[in-house]
Amino acid sequence: MNHYLVQVWAILRKDLLLEIRSLERIGAMGAFAVLAGVLFNFSIDTTAVRPDDVATGLIWMTLIFGGLLGVGRTFQLEAQDGALQGILTSPAPKDAIFLGKTIANFVLLYVVSILVLGVFGLFFGLDLGQNLGWVVFVLGIGSLGFVAVGTLFAAVAAGTHLKETLLPVLVFPLMVPMVIYGVGAMMPLVNGRPITEVEGNVRMLGAFTLAAVAAGAVLFRYVVED
């Protein structure tokens, strides 16, 4: 068990180290987040709709599109020098590899999601004072669930000749529950409602994320085997 965690940590650390060295993904995702906020602002008719009504929804959509950007490249890191092969032929269990990569992607997306929260809060005039902790918590669960599905299908996409263009088709239909429960939980919180009102949604979101991570861990080996 201990060795398993060491392996997960090694992969997680390696992915994050590579990210820090190149800053490629986080740069793209961060820029996307801010620019999306700008474009959204101009695409909404602020006389017809109150910005804070739609802000939560837009935050989640930005998360999903931006997340797709980041997760799509998760196996590109390994493509150079066939490094993925190096990991696959090591004694690291395939689910450990999946968990390491998923958590690394999660850290990446979570950081960006906090950025999105801040930027959109600014652009749309949200008062995040109350419930900030819960809002950040809900974002975390959502990010993890998204990243789990995204990482699994990124491995699939990497093995096809369509590559990342396949990802939206596979991932978006599955994200409906996440968006519904995520926004459903977050919007009342942003509007100052107590956590008890959205407990159900948070629990469903958690269940979704748990199922996504578990399914990914089990099925990943079938995607990367040769």
Stretch of residues binding other proteins (CB under 8 A), selected from 46-54, 110-118, 128-136, 174-182: 174-182
* CA nearest to 150, candidates 104, 82, 86: 104
What 8-state DSSP symbol labels residue 89?
T
Site string for other proteins, 184-223 (x = CB under 8 A): x----------------x--x--xx--x---x---x--xx
Task: Give dist(CA 224, CA 92) in Å, integer.
Answer: 13
Binding of other proteins by 89 (CB under 8 A): yes
In the complex, minimum distance from the CB of residue 202 to other proteins, in angstroms, rounded to a whole number? 13
Q: Report the nearest approach of other proteins to the CB of residue 223 (Å).
A: 6
Nearer to other proteins, 82 or 133 (CB): 82
Residues 166 and 157: their CA atoms lie apart, in Å, by 6
Classify 39 as helix, strand or coil: helix
Phi-psi domain of 93 (left: phi exceeds 0; alpha: psi -120 through 50; beta: other): beta
1, 47, 129, 225: which one binds other proteins (CB under 8 A): 225
Among 33, 117, 154, 166, binds other proteins (CB under 8 A): 166
Q: How many CA atoms lie within 13 A of 202 on its CB side?
A: 17
The CB-of-15 to other proteins minimum distance in angstroms stands at 10
Mark 29-68 with x for binding to other proteins (rule: CB under 8 A) and - for no binding.
----------------------------------------
Nearer to other proteins, 129 or 225 (CB): 225
HSE (CB half, 13 Å, CA atoms) of 163? 7
| Segment contacting other proteins by CB under 8 A, of 6-14, 41-49, 54-62, 120-128 | 6-14
| 147 and 74 Cβ atoms separated by less than 8 Å | no
Q: Which of 28, 136, 156, 195 binds other proteins (CB under 8 A)?
A: 156
Burial string for 138-171 (b: 16+ CB within 10 Å, else e) reads: bbbbbbbbbbbbbbbbbbbbbeeeeebebbeeeb
Closest CA to 104 of 143, 61, 133, 138: 143
List of residues contacting other proteins (CB under 8 A): 3, 6-7, 9-11, 13-14, 17-18, 21-22, 77, 80-83, 85-93, 149, 152, 156, 159-162, 166, 169-170, 172-174, 176-177, 180-181, 184, 201, 204, 207-208, 211, 215, 219, 222-223, 225-226
